[in-house]
Structures are given as C-alpha cells and as structure tokens.
Structure 1
Amino acid sequence: MKRLHKYVKKPVGNTNPFRVLITTILSQRTRDENTDEAAATLFSVYKTPEEIANAPRDEIEKLIKKAGFFRVKAQRVKETSRIIHEEHEDAVPDNIKELLALPGVGRKTANCVLVYGFRKNAIPVDVHVHRISNRIGLVKTKTPEETELELTKIVPKKYWLDLNESFVRFGQDICRPIGPKHEECPINDLCDFYRDMKKKSS
C-alpha cells in the first residue's frame, strides 16, 4: 500500500454521506464519468432525501439517464431517499447493517458510504479491487465478497480508508484489464502475474 499511496487523492472537506450513497447507487454498471454527470444533474435539481423522495419518478429518470439502467436506478434512488427521510430523519445510517437494508445497496455501496461519507474503516471492493488483488496474488478469490473478507484479514486497518481509491486509480493508470503497464508498475516485483509472464518469456 505504501507504494500505491501516490494514487490516493485526499478528500477535500467533509463529504455528504447522502450524496455518496446516491452517487454510488448510480455508479452500478456504468462508467465513472457518466455517474458523475448523472449525479451532478440530479443534485442540481433535488438536494435532500425529502426532495428526491417527493420528486416524480419520470423526472428522476430524465436527470439520471446518463447513468444507464435509469428506470431501475430511479426507483431505487427514490425509495432509498424515502426511507432515509421517513425512517432515519434525513440522516444516512453509519453502520453496515442498516445500509444493507436499503434498496439496491450491496456491500460495495455500503462500504463506500462508510469510507467516503463517514471516513470509517471499511474496504469497498469493486471490479478494480477484486481484479487487481487476484492478479498480483494478494488473494485467490472468486467473488468481491470473498475478496473483501480476505483483504480485511491481511491488510492493516490503517490502510483500509485509502485502499479502494488507490486500487481504482492504479487499475485505471497502470494495472489495466487489457495492456497493463508492467514496466511502469511500482509493485511489479511483488506481482504473481508479472513474475509468471517473465518466466514464460524467458
């Protein structure tokens, strides 16, 4: 993790947990730039759980269309906002159990809220974290849930807050799914994939 620290961009100020929650729901199965655009458009019109809960669903659909799967996501966003407003007095829960009870919220989304919304120790495992962890030989798992469990066993807690962002940026810049930049990689000496590739080529 120390070698990957340059890939971490520290958050500026406090991040709104509600915005993190809704943005992460919108991010499911879509590209980051589309997520950012959809979230910005939505929050430019509706800013609070109450406002989104009371907004017409077809209006929400139009605002988040860029995120893809907008009909399903609009329903989840609206219902999640209603629950936050009515059952939690507009405060997003700061524990995994209550977060997982929200519509469309899995472990990755819940952990993102804990890390980026509350700065609480957790490890959000997305496609980047799952793929890179297995590629370099840090874990040998088949699902993101298994990866999360194994990483919590072997990664010191002091690195948990930054792990997701480090791996995401590292996966975008260096350890790409196709055409990874092996020679530029700061951890190629620790990477099982790179070592195996070198053996085969020698």
Structure 2
Amino acid sequence: MSKKEIAADIAKILEEIYPEVPVPLDHQDPYTLLIAVLLSAQCTDVRVNKTTPALWQLADNPYDMARVPVEEIKAIIRPCGLSPMKSKAISNLSKIILEKHGGKVPSTFEDLEALPGVGHKTASVVMSQAFGHPAFPVDTHIHRLAYRWKLSTGKSVTKTEKDLKRLFPEETWNKLHLQIIFFGREYCPARGHDPHACPICSKYGRATLFK
C-alpha cells in the first residue's frame, strides 16, 4: 500500500472511533482559546482547564487583561508551569491585540505568530479551532503517532506537519488533528502501549513496536 492509501485507511479508522471530537481546551471565544493554548505549552489540557476559570474571573478579554499586573496573572497560572514567561506573554499580547488589532484576535498566521509567546503550533490551533481555517497543529501526540504509523520520519514537527498535509485532504485537517490527539491518549500512549491491541498500530505500526 502507498502512504496515501495507508493514510486514508487510518482516517477511516479514526472517523469510526471519533465521529465527533470536542475541542480539548475550554474557551468561550478566540481570545480565551488563544490564552488557553498558550498555557498548554508543556502542560496538560486537564490542568489548563482547571486553571483558566480563575483567570477568566480576573479577566477574559484583552481590555481587562492588559490592566492586570503581570504578578497577578503569574500567581493564577503557576500550576501550568513556566508562569514567569507565560504571564508576561499574556499581558503583552493583550496590549498588542488592543493597540494593533482593535481588540480582536488576528485571524492570520503572520499576525498571530508575531504575538509574544505564540509559535506556529499555537497559531495553527487558533486558526483551526477559532476561525475554521484549514490547519494541522502538530503536538507531541501527533508527532509521535505519525512516526509510529510510518507517515513521517519524525525528524521534526515541521517535517511531520508537511508530511501529514501532503497525505490527508485539506478539508479533513481541522477534525483529523483532534482525532489523532484523542486516539493517542486513549489507544496509543507513549508508555504502556500494546501494539497488538491498537487498531492502527496492529496494521501499520513500525516493526520495532512488536519486538
């Protein structure tokens, strides 16, 4: 089978298991999604979802957040890790959104990636989940599984993203990246994984998984 045929079969399996997929990070609008994704760097979605309600009580829009002292933001988001860096980024990007974008989260990759603390993966999540723009955010689960399933070499997340975009139809990207994330968590974890019991690895997993 060609890689495209394997990718099509994997997409079929994922669609059967996850016909509907929720957005993992709780949010109300593009701004709260942007902040939640920023907080999720080196942190679990569960921890972020436990932390953001207190942050939204303090400020859930760039107008209010820009007026909150960085130390107050840092105190609330400390459980998410990297709080000194993340709190400064939240404060500064809120001010930039006000000054340069009229208080609205920008809806282009270029403008999003110009914001403090916002890299390509974060921008991709916001473009996909907030604005419906075709994007394929590659997190650790997707990067790991693309290698396990021989869809990519695993040399870098940038390479993985390019490989997956070539293999899967653009109209599937926004849903598919979430399906792979959920599959990685529930069926195909990094540790304690039985490839024989995995509905995808049992068919397409690398031979090293079965040693």
Give the drift of 1:9: 1.6
Q: Are 1:34 and 2:50 matched, yes or no?
A: no
Structure 2 residue matching 1:65: 3-state secondary structure: helix
Q: Which has the higher contact order (CA 8 A, sep 6+)?
A: 1
Query: TM-score normalised to the size of structure 2?
Result: 0.86
Alignment of 1:37-48 (within 5 A): 37-48=50-61
Give the drift of 1:10: 4.1
2:195–2:205 Cα contact (<8 Å) kept: no
Q: What is the identity, as a one-letter code, of the residue corresponding to 1:134?
A: Y
**Which residue, 12, 18, 21 being the options, matches 2:34?**
21
Q: Are 1:182 and 2:195 matched, yes or no?
A: yes
- Deviation string, structure 1 residues 29-51 (Cα, Å, up to 9, x no partner): 11221111222221122111011
In 1, Cα distance between equivalents of 2:14 and 2:126: 22
**Structure-1 residue corresponding to 2:21:** 9
After TM superposition, the runs of 4+ consecutive aligned structure 1 residues lying more than 3 A away are: 195-198
1:107–1:145 Cα contact (<8 Å) kept: no
Alignment of 1:86-125 (within 5 A): 86-125=99-138
Structure 1 unaligned spans of 5+: none
In 1, Cα distance between equivalents of 2:209 and 2:124: 34
Identity %: 31
Alignment of 1:153-192 (within 5 A): 153-192=166-205
Distance 1:197 1:182, change over 3 A: closer
Q: How many residues align?
A: 196
Q: Are 1:59 and 2:68 matched, yes or no?
A: no
2:148–2:201 Cα contact (<8 Å) kept: no
In 2, Cα distance between equivalents of 1:21 and 1:142: 27
In 2, Cα distance between equivalents of 1:48 and 1:54: 11
**Which residue, 85, 92, 99 being the options, matches 1:79?**
92
Coordinate RMSD, CA, aligned: 1.7
Distance 1:190 1:97, change over 3 A: farther
